[in-house]
Amino acid sequence: MNRIITIGREFGSGGREVGRRLSEELGFAYYDREIVSEIAKRTSLSEEYVHQIVERRPIAPFPIHVGRSFHMPLLSPVWDQGQAIYQEQHNIIREMAQKSDCVIVGRCADYILREQSPFRLFIYADMESKIARCREKGKDAEGMTDKELKQHILDVNKDRAKYYEFYTGQTWGDRLNYDLCVNTTHADLKRTVSAIAGLFA
Amino acid sequence: MNRIITIGREFGSGGREVGRRLSEELGFAYYDREIVSEIAKRTSLSEEYVHQIVERRPIAPFPIHVGRSFHMPLLSPVWDQGQAIYQEQHNIIREMAQKSDCVIVGRCADYILREQSPFRLFIYADMESKIARCREKGKDAEGMTDKELKQHILDVNKDRAKYYEFYTGQTWGDRLNYDLCVNTTHADLKRTVSAIAGLFA
């Protein structure tokens, strides 16, 4: 069976960098934005639109998740589209996991692939460090005050949590859903990645 | 400055084994029960009594922690003794950290040594795995049903959480208080320890 590493990550914590470095060090395939491109291709929707749906909260008329049951008294075309995109994402992630060893960033891959026992990483950091990383790496941060940037980080992570909880019925960031939780606040990412790679040697 | 690894751990998760193996692999000093023995020696109290106080919840007439302030309208000799033991433990942990590179298990060492920037591990596992480990390793489990053992594990961890929160004002197990959180449920401990040791190579 292929070895699969899934990465849940707080926005601004360097989760994508950990994933990319890990895939390079291990020679595993790396899937992140590639998933969005593939969904867009298959559904004929724009990448921008797909990205908005798979990165942010699910589109729904109102909160409807009760345990594992979905109650949808009022369906809408937008809701249908959100569900179709999630279903396509689900298929693509399963196909990718069957193709080769791989690292998959975000997108509930830990849950979607739970029967293949992936190694589930969660990457996080303190707020100060997330703000600094966004300033260093992201274009989003340009023109934002620290207060605005902090709120933006909180909003994105809140959306990720809602998205994850909606589709998995689990709590995003709850340590029991992961095999290893890495705080990147004071971490040397290169060394940390080498250590994690050692688990797959 | 000496390299210090502190280990917070859920009862039954194998935190002590991780600590012991890590100290052996790195050649660091290892402190766990040794701290209790040293406190007993210095305070002339029995090891059993000291153990009960430093492992379980702090002795206090009633819950009194509000943020970082302590409100103690009703002091008692037992309370004084608890405080004296904590103070002695505090001194001993700081002395140990000054002596050499070391691994310290439990006892709020992450907080006590926060100015020396220790590497802070938290070891956890799911309940089923903790029950299995207790059955395998601990004498406590003998003669308990699974239900009783589960309750015992919950009780010990609740006490650890209260003790930690009482003396640090922080939440026990909150990922932001640790650099790395390791789920031992499906982990190969030997390999995991080697990976962590790689961070100190």
Q: What pLDDT, on a 0 to 100 scale, did the predictor assign at position A147?
A: 94
Do A186 and B173 lie within an 8 Å CB cutoff? no
A183 vs B: CB within 8 A: yes
Q: How many CB pairs under 8 A join A and B?
A: 55
Residue A105 C-alpha, separation from nearest chain B C-alpha, in angstroms = 19
B182 touches A at CB < 8 Å? yes
- A4-195 sits in which CATH class? alpha beta
pLDDT bin (cut points 50, 70, 90) of residue B62 is very low
Q: What are phi and psi of B104, to 5 degrees?
A: -120, 125
Q: Does A128 touch chain B (CB under 8 A)?
A: no
Contacts of B198 in chain A (CB under 8 A): 191, 194-195, 198
Give me the percent of chain A exceeding a pLDDT of 90. Answer: 64
Q: How far is A142 from chain B (nearest CA, A)?
A: 27
Nearest to A124 among B175, B192, B199 (CB): B175
What is the pLDDT, as a whole number, of residue B47?
A: 86
At A119, the pLDDT band (50, 70, 90 cuts) reads: very high
Instruction: Summarize the confidence of residues A81-88 as an average pLDDT.
Output: 82
Q: What is chain A's mean pLDDT, rounded?
A: 87
Say what the ipTM of the complex is. 0.87
Residues 161-180 (B) with a CB less than 8 A from some CB of A:
173, 175-176, 178-180
Give the one of B126, B176, B182 whose C-beta lies nearest to A180's C-beta.
B182
Would the CB atoms of B196 and A194 count as touching at under 8 Å? Answer: no
Q: Do B198 and A179 touch (CB under 8 A)?
A: no
pTM of model > 0.90: no
Question: What is the three-state SS of chain B?
Answer: CCCEEEEEECCCCCHHHHHHHHHHHHCCEEECHHHHHHHHHHHCCCHHHHHHHHHCCCCCCCCCEECCEECCCCCCHHHHHHHHHHHHHHHHHHHHHHHCCEEEECCCHHHHCHHHCCEEEEEECCHHHHHHHHHHHCCCCCCCCHHHHHHHHHHHHHHHHHHHHHHHCCCCCCHHHCCEEEECCCCCHHHHHHHHHHCCC
The pLDDT of A51-68, averaged and rounded, is 57
Using only the alpha carbons of chain B, give its radius of gyration.
17
| Closest CB from A178, A179, A198 relative to B194 | A198
Question: Residues A125-133: what's their mean pLDDT?
Answer: 96
Q: Please give the mean pLDDT across all residues of chain B.
A: 87
Q: Which CATH architecture has domain B4-194?
A: 3-Layer(aba) Sandwich (3.40)
Say what the pLDDT of residue B83 is.
80
3-class state of residue A134 by DSSP: helix
A186 touches chain B (CB under 8 A): yes
B119-124 vs B29-31, strand pairing mode: unpaired
Report B:22-51 residues touching A (Cβ under 8 A): none
Mutate to test the interface with A, among B5, B18, B181 (most CBs of A within 10 A): B181
List beta partners, residue A5. A103, A119
Partners of B175 on chain A (C-beta within 8 Å) are: 124, 173, 175, 181, 183
The string of pLDDT tens digits covering residues A134-163 is 999 877 788 899 999 999 999 999 999 998
Total Cβ atoms within 10 A of residue A162: 17
Which residues of chain B are within 8 Å of residue A124 when distances are taken between CB atoms? 175-176
Q: Is A101's pLDDT higher than 80?
A: yes
Q: Could B198 and A198 be called an inter-chain contact, meaning their C-beta atoms sit closer than 8 Å?
A: yes
* Inter-chain CB proximity B178 and A179 less than 8 Å: no
pLDDT in tens, B107-142: 899 999 999 999 999 999 999 999 999 999 877 788
Per-domain residue ranges of chain A: 4-195
Q: Which of B8, B1, B2, B39 is nearest to B104 (CA)?
A: B8
